[in-house]
Structure 1
Amino acid sequence: MDASGLRVALFSGNYNYVRDGANQALNRAVAYMLRRGASVRVYSPTTDTPAFEPAGELVSAPSFPVPGRGEYRVPWCLSSRLRRDLAAFAPNVVHVASPDPLCHRAISWARARSLPIVASVHTRFETYPRYYGLAFLEPAVEAILRRFYRRCDAIVAPSESMAQLLREQRMSYDVGIWTRGIDREIFRADRRDLGWRESLGIAPDVPVIGFVGRLVMEKGLDVFSDTIDLLAERGVAHRVLVVGDGPAREWFENRLPNAVFAGFQKGPDLGRAVASMDMLFNPSVTETFGNVTLEAMACGLPTVAARATGSESLVSEGVTGRLIRPGAIGAFADALGQYCMDADDRARAGAAARQQAERYGWDQVNQALVDTYLRVVRQRVHGTVVRSSPVP
């Protein structure tokens, strides 16, 4: 069998109603599979105002808003309507992309029919409680995730560092890599635009520390703010440029009154914004890959990031940027200060980052996911799948 023989039922908690790195990766994968002749059916919550048009056929799943985070929705059941649709589609592999109630039910549905199941890991859900004062829940969340992933034939992670963490957490005996690619037409160093920077009130000779991403606390906004405060105390010349939007924007604006908030950007405008920075600061520990880090690298920026999953697989310490112990405000400030004050060091690291980003292409990346599908289908046909949990 090749890709044209695949019939993939993909379940996701967010396929296109809010734009983020995870669902954009899923949409790119679906578009790639359709070009290769595969059949794909996507089951996910929908809204009347989606962030972008979905790739492939999207079937709306019953859902409700997340309490306190109404922009996200929880798909809560595999309804009789969805079951009829699945039966008519007759998939030969099931892909679950989030540990929500719908995906739990999809796994049970697939196991009852002896269908192979692949799970993709997009974020470190077990770390989220610490950002809401509920760190004591992390072991329980990790246990729930372990049960979820062990009911699948294989799981795929976006970076080797994340894959290794999943192995250490005993999430699965079969952990592969489905990394992320880069759109080289959008993210290029030559999109740098000092005129655009000046229109935002940023002088051309002031080094710009950038933040790119959804403005939510789990992205490390508190660490980012504290680090910028320390840089200011040290008298290091800089400006902060924030690209993105989200529910914590007001908090972030109040914390960083001298920062420039450019709001949500996409396509060539996003490429221009990233390329017009001088360095990226990514203190998050929830990333499993770090799309924004790769995009910054492709634009020729050094990155100062937390030494955590995702970033560890992208940033070469002392070569393309700096990896700092999570939460180490002083060390973050040291690294950013060095890049702010030494333009030559910044340029060397940026050039190395751009060269390293060249090896990430979307077609090669998505073929790895297709290869995983084909492998688990083949293993199921030949009866060689090793179940890591007997739970039905």
Structure 2
Amino acid sequence: MRILHILDHSLPLHSGYTFRTRAILKAQVARGWDIAGVTGPRHPGNADLSRETIDGLDFFRTVPPRKGPPVIGELLEIAAFAHRIAEVARDFRPDILHAHSPVLNALAALRARAVTGVPLLYEIRAFWEDAAVGNGTGREGSARYRLTRMAETHAVRRADAVAVICQGLKDDLVARGIAPDHIMLSPNGVDLNVFGDPLPPDPALVRDHGLEGADTIGFIGSFYDYEGLDDLIAAMPALVARRPAAKLILVGGGPMEAALRAQAAASPVAERIAFIGRVPHDQVDRWYSVIDVLAYPRKHMRLTDLVTPLKPIEAMAQRRLVAASDVGGHRELIRDGDTGSLFAPDDPPAIAAALAALFEDRSGWEARRTRARRFVEAERNWSSNISRYAPVYQRLITATALEPSWSRSPPAKA
């Protein structure tokens, strides 16, 4: 089977998006499938390269079109990307076009499908309009928000099949009138062959950051507003009052970093809050090794209610305790009191109370870590999750073969 993945960006960039992509592509290669990716005009460095092989994976690049005003600029990007997808497809000759959000990729893939006849699976990791609200670049209910939502619904209706990463996204699409059997679930997961063996506490990190005897709380990821890290910092004075050895470790960076550093510096427990900065991906497990509890205080909004994050799954794979806000995306991953702890969102006192309670009773820690790890092994392991695509791919290939109007040979020119 030959699959062409249609992507916003890819390796060598490091992000949750590229790590999920890498996991999917690597798992499909392991099944013996032929895989390639084509990235859109927004991938950095497109103008300099037409093709790259990174970590054994082939990626074709798209030259960005000329700039345009809002809407016109996006239409130019869609046209350029559609042309490039069709161009790559003529050489690679895929059986499936597998487009990944955002919706611009799906719209470009729909155009490419029209000229190649190759069936299209569109995979949604988050709705673009809600991601923009969460990132602070959009406003819910605005004209742009409504237009993007309409484009998303249009793409979902036109695609031959749709994949989503969690039940929340599926429920939202069904509420828009999309047939449930048109949508498959492809949940976030981890590659346990790469990220599955927890390290013992790293003595150098413990020594260099004064973690001997500390109750360590941590966050590893991107510093976006919706992650609620301001609430976590605001919870620290109350937590330190109950647990004087508490120390917060923030690993990563992002748009909110400057504001969070300023907030932490003004905190009465500033010395108990440490910013580590970004670390190479192959060093992340060292930081997991020295953190007792990973905290995910996401704010309550559509994005966090609908979308499951990847980081709590990584933490559970590393046998770390997880405490998270009680929003829909977390409830799909964490069973409160069983595989993790849930606390009220947007509520620093609730965060402090939940974290203090964990440190005050460690008797069930090992059993909880084991249950969480088993959940990841059974339900969030890429080596098994990847099998969900096979029947959908095969159904689309069979339907294409039976439908004369979808003949793939020879493909038309873009």
Common fold, TM-score beyond 0.5? yes
2:308 — aligned with what? 289
Alignment of 1:78-227 (within 5 A): 78=81, 80=83, 82-111=85-114, 113-128=116-131, 129-132=133-136, 134-137=139-142, 138-170=145-177, 173=180, 174-184=182-192, 187=195, 190-193=198-201, 195-227=203-235
Q: Which of the two has higher C-alpha Rg?
A: 2
2:317 — aligned with what? 298
SS class of match (1:293): helix
1:38 — aligned with what? 33
Q: Unaligned 5+ residue runs, structure 1?
A: 1-5, 68-72, 384-392
Q: Unaligned 5+ residue runs, structure 2?
A: 69-73, 404-414
Q: Provide, for residues 83-127 of structure 1, a one-character-per-residue CA deviation record: whole Å limited to 9, x for no partner.
A: 333223332221110234343122122145543211112234333
CA contact 1:7–1:92 (8 Å) conserved in 2: yes
Alignment of 1:264-283 (within 5 A): 264-283=278-297
Deviation larger for 47-56 or 261-270: 47-56
CA contact 2:229–2:260 (8 Å) conserved in 1: yes
Task: Tell me, in whole angstroms, the C-alpha distance in 1 between the residues paired with 2:252 and 2:283.
Answer: 12
Q: Do residues 312 (structure 1) and 346 (structure 2) align?
A: no
CA contact 2:103–2:128 (8 Å) conserved in 1: no
Task: Tell me, in whole angstroms, the C-alpha distance in 1 between the residues paired with 2:66 and 2:171.
Answer: 33
SS class of match (1:213): strand
2:275 — aligned with what? 261
Deviation larger for 17-26 or 81-90: 81-90
The verdict on how the C-alpha distance between 1:165 and 1:366 changes in structure 2, with shifts beyond 3 A counting, is: same
Q: Work out which of the residue numbers 4, 9, 12 in structure 2 matches 1:14.
A: 9
1:271 Cα shift?
1.2
Amino acid at match of 1:152: A
Amino acid at match of 2:285: G
1:277 Cα shift?
0.8
**Superposed structure 1 runs of 4+ greater than 6 Å apart:** 49-52, 64-67
Deviation larger for 178-187 or 318-327: 178-187
1:388 — aligned with what? none
The verdict on how the C-alpha distance between 1:229 and 1:139 changes in structure 2, with shifts beyond 3 A counting, is: farther
1:380 Cα shift?
3.6
1:57 — aligned with what? 58
The verdict on how the C-alpha distance between 1:123 and 1:108 changes in structure 2, with shifts beyond 3 A counting, is: same
CA contact 2:218–2:294 (8 Å) conserved in 1: yes
Deviation larger for 16-25 or 342-351: 342-351
Amino acid at match of 1:333: A
Q: Provide, for residues 270-298 of structure 1, a one-character-per-residue CA deviation record: whole Å limited to 9, x for no partner.
A: 11211321111112364633221111112
Deviation larger for 312-321 or 163-172: 163-172
CA contact 2:96–2:397 (8 Å) conserved in 1: yes
Amino acid at match of 1:86: A
CA contact 1:158–1:310 (8 Å) conserved in 2: no
SS class of match (1:333): helix
CA contact 1:62–1:79 (8 Å) conserved in 2: no
Q: Work out which of the residue numbers 25, 37, 53 in structure 1 matches 2:20.
A: 25
Q: Work out which of the residue numbers 354, 366, 382 in structure 1 matches 2:373.
A: 354
1:264 Cα shift?
2.6
Q: Provide, for residues 68-92 of structure 1, a one-character-per-residue CA deviation record: whole Å limited to 9, x for no partner.
A: xxxxx99542364553332233322
CA contact 1:304–1:336 (8 Å) conserved in 2: yes
1:44 Cα shift?
0.5
Amino acid at match of 1:284: R
Task: Tell me, in whole angstroms, the C-alpha distance in 1 between the residues paired with 2:234 and 2:370.
Answer: 29
SS class of match (2:192): coil
Task: Tell me, in whole angstroms, the C-alpha distance in 2 between the residues paired with 1:83 and 1:181.
Answer: 30
Identity %: 17
Q: How many residues matched?
A: 373
Q: Provide, for residues 201-234 of structure 1, a one-character-per-residue CA deviation record: whole Å limited to 9, x for no partner.
A: 2333221111011223233333333333553566
Task: Tell me, in whole angstroms, the C-alpha distance in 2 between the residues paired with 1:165 and 1:326.
Answer: 21
The verdict on how the C-alpha distance between 1:98 and 1:189 changes in structure 2, with shifts beyond 3 A counting, is: closer
2:44 — aligned with what? 47
Task: Tell me, in whole angstroms, the C-alpha distance in 2 between the residues paired with 1:329 and 1:66.
Answer: 43
Q: Normalising by structure 2, what TM-score?
A: 0.78
Q: Normalising by structure 1, what TM-score?
A: 0.82
CA contact 2:103–2:155 (8 Å) conserved in 1: no
Task: Tell me, in whole angstroms, the C-alpha distance in 2 between the residues paired with 1:65 and 1:209.
Answer: 46
SS class of match (1:58): strand
Task: Tell me, in whole angstroms, the C-alpha distance in 2 between the residues paired with 1:65 and 1:206.
Answer: 54
Q: Provide, for residues 143-165 of structure 1, a one-character-per-residue CA deviation record: whole Å limited to 9, x for no partner.
A: 33222222212221223344334
C-alpha RMSD over aligned residues: 3.4
The verdict on how the C-alpha distance between 1:185 and 1:8 changes in structure 2, with shifts beyond 3 A counting, is: closer
1:371 — aligned with what? 391
SS class of match (1:239): strand
Deviation larger for 200-209 or 164-173: 164-173
Deviation larger for 7-16 or 232-241: 232-241
